[in-house]
Structures are given as structure tokens and as C-alpha cells.
Structure 1
Amino acid sequence: MKLLFLIADGMGDWPVKELGGKTPLEAAHTPHMDQLAKSCVAGLIRTVPTGMAPGSDVANMSLVGFDPAKYHTGRGPIEAAAQGLTLDPNDLVWRLNLVSVTSPDETGTMLDYSSGHIGTAQSTPLIEDLQSQLGDDDFEFIPGIQYRHLLVHKGGANQPEAELAIRPPHDITDQAMDQDITAYAQSPRMKALFDAAAKRLGRPDNGTKANAIWPWGQGRPLILPDFADTYGMKGAVISAVDLVKGLGRASGMEVIDIPGATGLLDTNYQGKVDAALDFLSSGGDYVYLHVEAPDECGHSGIVADKVKAIDQFDEHIVGPLIEALAGEDVAFMITCDHFTPLIERTHTTDPVPFLISHPSCTMHGLPAFSEANAAGTGVMVEHGHEALKYTLEVLS
């Protein structure tokens, strides 16, 4: 049997007034997921352990099959794993966003955690310039993708900077930054770096919206168990975002890069489907296929865009895979990593809906796949890192 985990990042939501009290998932046109829901095993998964922040890093680590309470060290280390960086165990790795702010000081407001979804071609020269001008024996700026980059503080895991409490920038859109600037200031080195970077980005020849850096999610390098040894399957991850790639690479799975995978509504859906099919046909057992667009649209707060993102996930990912694999011994697990409610514009800890589809899965017959219908089955996978194990048990 082959197994596909299809993840629509941030798809879960709360009822929306503009949608007549429906959630975006309920309002979206999802005939393929709804068809699978008619005979399935469905319920909810608590992907975020009690006391941990509901980030995509924590939630996806759970769904990949590893306990964040045991293995999670920070967002930055996961993305460093995606790049295959060689790090010392005492290095401190920060996720670094290029952001747009009203003013890069304690009076400022966070305008955009993504600098207008800056493209990689525009962001890489900015990071390279920061490294050239500000990098030294302690700090190294490392280019990533779009607005997502890294800052490595060599030997910093044993320094006070490891304890700085900086909020994720996507959690504070249109909010004051004073508490975060105060936190940076607890480290004279970090505050000096923040200020110097804002000065470099403020030069007239910067034609982008990025006018500040935002280091956050710091931690020691990530170490995960081997996926194949743990679950007895040859696995692959397919995603546009480094955190999912990092989870795959750190656990020894194949990481498949898709040209044109953007993490947005215009991502290369067909490329992801083709890559999944190629991997399964060449001896692979398990694919973790991740689509970022619903989450990005949740952060934007634009109702129509989030509905469209879910429409496209169903039309361009779920539907083509069902069609291509018809008649084969294949099971589907469809879920999301966390809720990204439009009204909140950030993540919440709500347990997420899931369905498992295979000819042997007939426990539940739902009229459609939705948060409420999944909750109505009464099934709860209380520990998210056991969701893969639970799926395998259902299918055994």
C-alpha cells in the first residue's frame, strides 16, 4: 500500500460572517475531498502540544510523526536543516524575515511580515549585502527563499540571545512592535545588528518594501530520528517552504524540489502532483505533500483568497492524484497543520480536521469534509505526532 499525506497548511478556520456563517472549507468547492468523505475514517488531530506555540514548525513536525515536545528546538534550526547547513551543536540559528515596518524602532508597527511577498530574486541580493556589510565572526546572514532567510549566531546557544522572546512577525501584523524591540535591546549585539540592518535596507537603491530584518524562532541545530527506521517506509516531502523540507531532510526523507513552487496561489500544483506520482512509481511508499497557500491567505485576511486556495487544493492536488492512482492500493490522509482563522490572521491551537480514505475505511460517511463534520465523529487523535501511527493502524 502507498500512503499520501496531503496537507493544506492553515486550511482550518472559524465561521466567517461574509460567508454566511460558513468556514472557508465549508464554502469552498471541494468535490474530491467531499467524495472521499462519504466513506472514510475522520476526526480531529491535536497537532500542537499543550504549552507550545501553534506554529507551522511545531504542527508539521507533529504530522510528520515526531513529538515537538521532544525534538523541537526552534523554527530557524528546521529551515537550516532544509539547506543542509553544517552547524556546531552550540550554534544558535534564527529564522530571519525581511519585513515592512512603519519605523524600525519601539514606535513602529509591523506592516507586512513578508515585505509584500518579496521574490527570491529581489531578497537574495539584500541578504548578501547584509552579510557583506554586517556579517562577522559571530553572525552570518544566509539567503533562503522569498522573505524567509536565516541568521546563524556562532556559539550563541550558550549566550543570553538564546532566551530572547521575539514574536513571529506574522502574529503581529498591524500591531505595535515595542515589546519585541525591547526584547532585542536586552542583547546589545542583537539590537545593534537590527539597527544596522535597517540602515542598510533604508538606502535609496533598495527598490523593495523590505526595510527591516526580523530574527525570531532561534534554537540549537535540529536532530530527528530516521523516518524509514521509525516507520518502515521510504518517504518524501514535497513543499515550497523550507520548514517542511527541513523536517524531511533532518529525518532522512527524500526532499523533492519543485520548480515554480511559490507557497502562494500561483504555485506549481501540477509539478507537485507529478513529483508525487514519480516517487511512488519508483519505489516510494509515502509522500508528505504540503501546500502553503491557504495559510498565506489566512494571514492576509482576504476571505475570497482563502476560499480560492482551498478550491485549488481540491481541484489541482486532490482530484488529479485520485484520478491518477485509481485502481491502485493507495490511501489518502487529508488534513491541515493548524487553523489560520481569517479574523485572527495568525495560527491557533484548535484541533484540525482529518480524513483517511481507502477502500477499507468505511467507519464514517460524511456529507462533506469540514471542521464540524470531522468533529462530529467523536474521534480525537490527542497527540499529533501519533497521527501517522494512527493512520497506519487504521489501514492495517
Structure 2
Amino acid sequence: MKYIIVLCDGMADEPLEKLGGETPLEAAVTVNMDRLARDAEIGMVRTVPEGMAPGSDTANLSVIGYDPKKYYTGRSPLEALSVGVDMTPSDVSFRCNLVTLSEEGDIYEERRILDHSSGEITTQEAAILLNALKEGLKKDGYAFYVGTSYRHLLVWKNGKVRELTAPHDILTKRIGDYLPSDPVLREMMEKSYAILKDHPVNQARKEKGLNPANSAWFWGAGTRPVLTSFEKKNRVKGAMISAVDLLKGIAVGADMYNITVEGANGGLHTNYAGKANAAVKALTEEGYDFVYIHIEAPDEMGHQGNIEDKIEAIERIDAQIIGPVADKLREAGEAFRMLVLPDHPTPIRLRTHTGSPVPYLLYDSTQKAEGKESYCEKTAEQTGIFQEKGHELLKHLLEKGK
């Protein structure tokens, strides 16, 4: 038996007036999800434990079988694992987003966050800007590390965990009320604007009508995590397919293999087909029992408040990942179980995450189940099936297949 999780980041949403009261998942054309839904277990699951922040960090840890209340030590340390940062127990890491701030006036605190991702800036452009920050913000005990796109890291040697605000939670808001209380971190952020505002990379982006990456924004502080081996814990050999450092870091911490797919970038135009082909190859040719396919696009479109692009992201996942993976495994004669779900909602209305339960679809190619005509929030709620502890859903996936 082979096992697949297709994690559609931020896919769950709310009914929208512009969609006639439907959610983006309901409005999307999802032939393959609906085909599986007719013979699948459909239900709701709480991926973010009560009292914890609704982030992709806590939610994905939960989906992959690790209780966030036990294993979570912060978001950025997981990302640090993915880029090879060797943190000591006393080090503290921070996510360093390259964000777009408004540029009117002269007072940093009066600026507003316009875009948490700087228009999904390329990693190549971002690396140049990070090097400028490394030089301009050089300080003993603090080190910057290049990640992917707008997502980067700052590590504070022998540091302290600070309460910080995620930039995607305060889009369009004045930043003065959300800046760090720590004077060094605050000073670094303010100086980063002076360094980046007129940088040639940003001047070129403006000329192309793109959002400039004109400030660093620190958040997601934490200390080095310790995850138990996924294979030893679950007795299956697992691989991760993701363009996002957070998920790659979880895989490193869990001793899973990270599969790199050319053209996978965490955006709407990621290499969906490449991810599907890599998953099938891992399961049919390379000896893996379990593959976790993570797609960031629905979440990014939710943060942007873009209904049409969120629907497009869902439709691409359905047509280019879910359908091909299921069909190719059948053609190869492999029995499989596929779990499809978001990690958390990213409602268009809010443009940030919520901790509400999410719909899941659990399909077994060897069994028939009393499913639904379609997979969406509404049909999942109608079944009455509810998994309170999200980290136990993986066990449900694996046990039912043995």
C-alpha cells in the first residue's frame, strides 16, 4: 500500500457573495477530487489545536502526525533546518520576510504593509537584497541566511524569543503598533528600509510595475526543534515535495527525504505536473511508501485576496496533481490511499489564516466508501465526521491501509 497526502495550503475558505454564496473550493472545477469523493471518507479535522496560533507551521506539523503542543518550538527554526543552519540550543531564529511597505512620508512607523511577499519576488533577486542587508546590518551575534523567494532567516546567537507579528496578519495596517519591542530588532528593520528602498533591484522592479522588497520584517521566533524520525514513528519510508522552506525543514527534522522539483516556486505558476511526476516516481521506482505533496499557491492567493487566482490554484492542483497521481498509480498496479486537505483556512475576506477546522478527503483505491458527490467545506460538514486531534489523522490514514 502506498500513501499520499496532498496538502493544499490555505485552500479552505468562507462562502463569498461574489461566488453566489460558494467558497472558492465549491466554485472551482474539481473533477478529480469529486471523482474520488464519491468513494471516499469525507469529514472535518481540527489541524490547529485550541489556543495555538493558526500558522502553516502548527497545522502542517499536525497533518504530518506531530502534536504541535509537544513538538512546536517556533516557525523559523523549522525553516532553519531546511537551509542547513546548525542552531545550538541557545540560539533563536526569526523569519525574515522581504515585504513591501508604503513609501509616503519620512517616518518608518507610519508606513503600512502593502504586500507580505513583495509580489512573490524571485529567489535570485531576494538573494541580492539579503546580501545588502548582511553588509548593511552587520552585527556580532546576528546572522542572515537566504531562503526562498521572500522567505529568509535571521539567527540571533544566545538570543531570546520575542513575541512578534506575522506580516500577513496586518496587511494595509500602520506598522508602528506592531514593531518589535526589542531595540536591536526594531533598529534593524528600520535600517533595512533605508538600505533597500532605492536598491537597484527594487528600482528595476518598480520600472516593471512590480512591488519593491523595501523592508525586512522579523517574526516567527523560536528555538531548535527536536522531531522524532517519521520512519521509526510510523514504519513507512517518507518523502516531502514542497517549494517552501518550512515544509522542507519539517522533513529534515523528521528524517524524511526532500525531493527537489525544478520550477517549483511556491506561487500560482509552480510546477504542478513536476510535483505529481516526482511523487509517482518516488512511490513506484524509488522505494518510498509515503509522499507528502505540499502546494502553497491557494494560501498565497488567499493572502492576496484574489478570488480568481485562488480558484485557478485549486483547479490546477486537481487537474495536474490529484488526477495524474491517482491515475498513474492505478496504471502501475499500486494500491494506494490518498488524503487531500488544507492545513488551515486562508479566507479571501480576511487575507490571513484562521484556526477553524478544515475539510478532508480520504480515498482508498481498494475499498468503497459512502462518500459525497463533491469535496468541499459544505459536504464535509454534512457528514458529521469530525477529527478533533489533527495529529491523529495520519495514523488513521496509515492504519486503515494495513
Q: TM over 0.5, yes or no?
A: yes
1:201 and 2:206 are equivalent in the alignment: no
* Counterpart among 131, 135, 149 of residue 132 in structure 1: 135
Query: Hey, what's the Cα distance between the residues in 2 that align with 1:203 and 1:36?
Result: 51
Give every structure 1 segment of 4 or more consecutive aligned residues whose post-TM-superposition deviation is greater than 3 Å: 359-363
Superimposed CA distance per residue, residues 141-165 of structure 1 (whole angstroms, 9 cap, x where no aligned partner): 1111110000001110xx3xx13x2
1:41–1:362 contact (8 Å) kept in structure 2: no
Q: 1:331, 1:356 within 8 Å by CA — same for their partners in 2?
A: yes
Are 1:259 and 2:257 counterparts?
no
Query: Where do residues 62-73 of structure 1 align in structure 2 (5 Å cutoff)?
Result: 62-73=62-73
For 2:80, give the aligned amino acid.
A
8 Å contact from structure 1 (residues 361, 395) kept in 2: no
- Equivalent residue of 2:321, what SS? helix
Alignment of 1:77-92 (within 5 A): 77-92=77-92
- Equivalent residues in 2 for 1:43-82, closer than 5 Å: 43-82=43-82
Q: Determine if contact 2:279/2:291 at 8 Å carries over to the other structure.
A: yes
1:229 alignment partner, SS class: helix
Q: Distance in 1 between matches of 2:195 and 2:13?
A: 39
Matched, 1:354 2:349: no
Measured in 2, the distance between the counterparts of 1:291 and 1:349 equals 19
Partner of 1:118: 121
Gap runs ≥5 in structure 1: none
Q: How far is 1:67 from its partner?
A: 0.8
AA paired with 1:19? L
For 2:185, which of 185, 190, 197 is the aligned residue?
190
Amino acid at match of 2:129: L
What is the CA–CA distance in structure 2 between the aligned matches of 1:88 and 1:367, rounded to whole Å?
A: 51
- State the TM-score, normalizing by the size of structure 2: 0.94
User: What is the rounded CA distance, in whole Å, between the counterparts of 1:364 and 1:96 in structure 2?
Assistant: 46
Between the aligned partners of 1:257 and 1:246, the Cα distance in structure 2 is: 13
Structure 1 CA distance for aligned equivalents of residues 56 and 213 of structure 2:
23
Provide the rounded CA distance (Å) in 1 between the counterparts of 2:347 and 2:368. 31
Distance 1:378 1:363 in 2: 15
Cα displacement string for residues 308-357 of structure 1 (whole angstroms, at most 9, x for unaligned residues): 11111100000111110114211111111011111111111111111111
Equivalent residue, structure 2, for 1:174: 172
Check 1:178–1:306 CA distance in 2 against 1; reply closer, same or farther (3 A cut).
same
* 1:93-112 equivalence runs, <5 A: 93-103=93-103, 105-112=108-115
Contact kept? 2:239, 2:258, Cα under 8 Å = yes
| 3-state SS of paired residue (1:106) | helix
1:383 lines up with 2:378 in the alignment: no
* Distance in 2, Cα, partners of 1:37 & 1:323: 15
TM-score, normalization by structure 1: 0.95
More displaced 10-residue stretch of structure 1: 99-108 or 191-200: 99-108
Aligned-residue offset at 1:214: 0.2
In 1, distance between residues paired with 2:62 and 2:367? 23
* Aligned counterpart for 2:380 among listed residues 374, 378, 385: 374
Q: Is 2:38–2:369's contact at 8 Å kept on the other side of the alignment?
A: no
**1:317 corresponds to:** 321
The amino acid that maps onto 1:188 is P
Please identify, of 311-320 and 352-361, the stretch whose mean Cα deviation from structure 2 is larger. 352-361
Code of the residue aligned with 1:263 in structure 2: it is G
Match of 1:306 in 2: 310
Residue range with higher mean Cα deviation, 165-174 or 143-152: 165-174
Q: Report what 2:209 is aligned to.
A: none
Q: Distance in 2 between matches of 1:234 and 1:363?
A: 27
Deviation at 1:84, TM superposition (A): 2.0
Larger displacement relative to structure 2 (13-22 or 199-208): 199-208
Residue 364 of structure 1 and its aligned partner are, at CA, apart by 2.5
Aligned-pair distance for 1:360?
Answer: 4.5
Q: Tell me the alpha carbon deviations over residues 56-77 of structure 1, each in whole angstroms, 9 at most, x when there is no partner.
A: 1110110111011111111110
Deviation at 1:262, TM superposition (A): 1.2
**2:245 alignment partner, one of 238, 242, 245:** 242
Deviation at 1:177, TM superposition (A): 1.4
Q: Against the structure 1 CA distance between its residues 42 and 395, is the aligned structure 2 distance closer, same or farther, given a 3 Å change threshold?
A: farther
CA contact (8 A) 1:128 1:142 kept: no
1:293 pairs with 2:297: yes
User: Partners in 2 of 1:204 and 1:235 — Cα distance?
Assistant: 42
Q: Between the two proteins, what is the percent identity of the paired residues? A: 43
C-alpha displacement of 1:107: 1.2
Three-state SS of the structure 1 residue aligned to 2:300 is: helix
Look up the SS of the partner of 1:325 in the other structure.
Answer: helix
SS at match of 2:109: coil
Counterpart Cα distance in 2 of 1:272 and 1:372: 28
Partners of 1:188 and 1:245 in 2: CA distance: 31
Between the aligned partners of 1:194 and 1:100, the Cα distance in structure 2 is 12
Distance of 1:190 and 1:328 partners within structure 2: 52
Pairwise CA distance, 1:132? 2.0
- Find the residue that maps to 2:219 and give its secondary structure: strand
Aligned match of 2:370: 364
Letter in 2 for 1:171: D
**Aligned AA (1:193):** M
How much has 1:361 moved relative to structure 2? 4.3
Tell me the amino acid that sits aligned with residue 379 of structure 1.
I
Segments of structure 2 that go 5 or more residues without pairing to the other structure are 206-211
After superposition, give the CA deviation of every residue in 1:175-205 in whole Å (9 maximum; x if it has no partner): 1212212xx2x22211221122111112353
| Conservation of the 8 A alpha-carbon contact between 2:164 and 2:221 | no
